[in-house]
Amino acid sequence: MSIWAQTKKYLYMAAAGGLLLGSSAIAGNSESEDLKVMQLPIRTDGPKSLDPIEGSTTYDNMACVQFYETLLTNKYTNPMEMEPLLLSEMPTTSDEGTTWHFKLKSGVYFQDNECFPNGKGRLITPDDVFYSLKRLADDQYQLENWWLLDGAILGFNEYKDTQNAADKFDYSAQVEGFRKINDLEFEIVLTKPVYRFLYILSMFQTSIVAQEAVDFYGEDFARNPVGTGPFVLDSWVPKQSLTANRNPNYHPVFYPDRSEWSKADKRNRLHRAGGEQVPFVDRIEFTMFVEDQPMWLEFSKGKLGYSQVPEEYYTEAFDLASKELNEDLLRKGIRPHSNLLLDFTFRGFNMEDDLLGGYTPEKIALRRAISYAIDLEEINKTFYNGRRIVYDGPIPPGLDGHPENHRSDSAARGPNLSMANQKLAEAGYPNGEGLPPIRFVTSQNTLNNSVAEMLKRQLAQANIQLDSVFLDFSTLIENINKKKAPMFGFAWASDYPDAENNLALFYGPNESPGSNHYNYKRPEYDALYEQVLTMSPSDERTAIYEQMRDMVLEDCVYVGGMARERFYLINPWLTNCKPTERYYGWFKFLDVDDEARD
């Protein structure tokens, strides 16, 4: 047996046996040089859990999808479209979207793991789908993602209430809307047609897990993922690193056919692996970077396959006027890529906070005073070279309901100090007198620190004092989920290309720890949201979206928003790479060319 074969066999045995090798085990093996190892960054401190049911952030998503899979996924060639992943074909309906018929792909096994008899993974079945969705209803997981299916499936809400009231949550109890036909086919019956339903089945929180693994690992399941995905966990050091090895029993998934790629993609040679089985690499190594500078330096040294371009390094990479890649990077074979994000960047208010929350005219006036005092365009020009789109409302550019020219008359758009002062007086704080400091919580990094200083200066012009608190990202989200952040800032990337996803952020029943981080509750808004859930795209639906958008603006639930264009640089040794933030299942398509490394 060759050195390569011996090394690969050892790697596969370790993955199959559930050994935690740690990154040093491979790096220190003199025989490992033939392995295809891919080094990639995770911005911020990374995932807070490897259990998809507990996930909510981009970084939870990025990690979980290496180990778990969903019924549907986005296409790598066109991330705005969906395709089957654990299904053999797209779901079908014969009653206009109330009953959906599904057929699982045959030959899909859970990863080998000691939770199974003899350590051998078994075939997935419809029962695994039902079990995985039932976990959303179990309040031991704080119902963080229950909002995704709340009220959607026949009998599911009743099941949730009954089981959470019982002494023990019974996963074997029946849900009326879950119907198994055979070992591959099943149906899900909805309470009514819900336009977003199939989109939900592509989100990582609805990944398919094995009950044996959850039962075997108990509270440690969040650190011991067992799914059907392309990689098997090697090691996870929270806030530092995550490594994974290729799943030797991964079901046949193939790189997109050459015919699916655009001319531009073909110029970047993205089509060359068309039709080949994935994954291509033996090992994936993620490093978490709370600060951007270390990530940028590691990429510059050729040690990371790609990097998002931090704002403060944009002019090192691109000509400011033309957006063309700088000549020295071109000579190194580095390739640029960019995406317009379905992006909602904001500074939100906790509507249950004693100072900033509430719906009386005085409380609304205070929030509008804060909003009028903030100059988003100055922030955009100073820190983002004017490349972000500043817009009113929570609906990103490109989606139905986004305001014409990015402006709405309902918004308290700053800077407008005279209006800020007027609203302060209406709130009972003339000239800011008697107003306590505003506690603003955001994630810790150099850029956020600088932006917060500008916010502090802008608000001081209206005699509003801002006290900033900087936390690592996972701690920030934990504080928001527990309603401990009076004012907070981060960004929401739309889970699917429909404004309903963004409007769900303000639906009362989705309050924290659900997606309604603002804990906004307005009955008229909630009624409209429930109405649009069953509506297909139409002028009537768009008009309701606009009405809901302006309700949120009138109540001034947040300050914002901004939409970003994300820029990436890709080192020449990382191939097949077309980064997208529409989904994160694309890492399995990447390959490495070690001869192209410096």
Q: The CATH number of the domain where 466 resides is what? A: 3.10.105.10
Contact criterion met (CB below 8 Å) for 87 and 105? yes
Burial class (CB in 10 A: 0-12, 13-18, 19+), 199: buried
Residue 46, phi-psi category: left (phi > 0), alpha (psi -120 to 50), beta (remainder): left
Does some domain include residue 296? no
- Let me know if residue 295 belongs to a domain: no
CA distance 266 to 80: 19
Name the burial class of residue 30, with classes exposed (0-12), middle (13-18) and buried (19+) by CB atoms within 10 angstroms of its CB. Answer: exposed
The reply to whether 520 falls in a domain is yes
The residue type of 239 is K
Of the residues 193, 228, 246, the one at which a domain ends = 246
In a domain, residue 275? The reply is: no
Please identify, among 199, 231, 246, the residue that sits at the C-terminal boundary of a domain: 246
The residue written with tokens 């509270």 in the block is 219
Q: Which residues of the chain have a pLDDT value below 70?
A: 1-33
CATH number of the CATH domain containing 207? 3.40.190.10
Please check whether residues 240 and 363 belong to one and the same domain. no
Give every CB contact of residue 372 below 8 A, 6+ residues apart in sequence: 412, 413, 414, 415, 416, 417, 419, 420, 423, 462
The predicted structure's pLDDT at residue 289: 96
Query: How many C-beta atoms lie closer than 10 Å to residue 237's C-beta?
Result: 13
Question: Is residue 168 within a helix (H) or strand (E), and if so which, with residue range?
Answer: none
Is 310 part of a structural domain of the chain?
no
Is 281 among the domain residues?
no
How do strand 283-289 and strand 241-246 relate by DSSP bridges?
A: antiparallel
Q: With respect to residue 98, please indicate whether it lies within any of the assigned structural domains.
A: yes
Q: What is the model's pLDDT at position 369? A: 98
pLDDT value of position 13: 39
Q: 3-class DSSP state for residue 204?
A: helix
Task: Report which secondary-structure segment, H or E, holds 511.
Answer: none
Structure tokens, 509: 């029943």
Number of domains composing the chain: 2
- Judging by beta carbons within 10 Å of its beta carbon (0-12, 13-18, 19+), is residue 327 exposed, middle or buried? exposed
Whether residues 222 and 348 share a domain: the answer is no
- ∠ CA 92-95-97, nearest 5°, is 60
**Quick one: pLDDT at residue 33?**
61
Residue 594 lies in a domain: no
Q: What pLDDT is recorded for position 68?
A: 98
Q: Which of 192, 217, 246 is the last residue of a domain?
A: 246
Together in a domain, 522 and 412: yes
Calpha distance 63→61 (Å, rounded): 5
Residue partners of 323: CB distance under 8 A and separation at least 6:
338
Q: Residue 379 belongs to what domain range?
A: 343-563
Same structural domain, 233 and 357: no
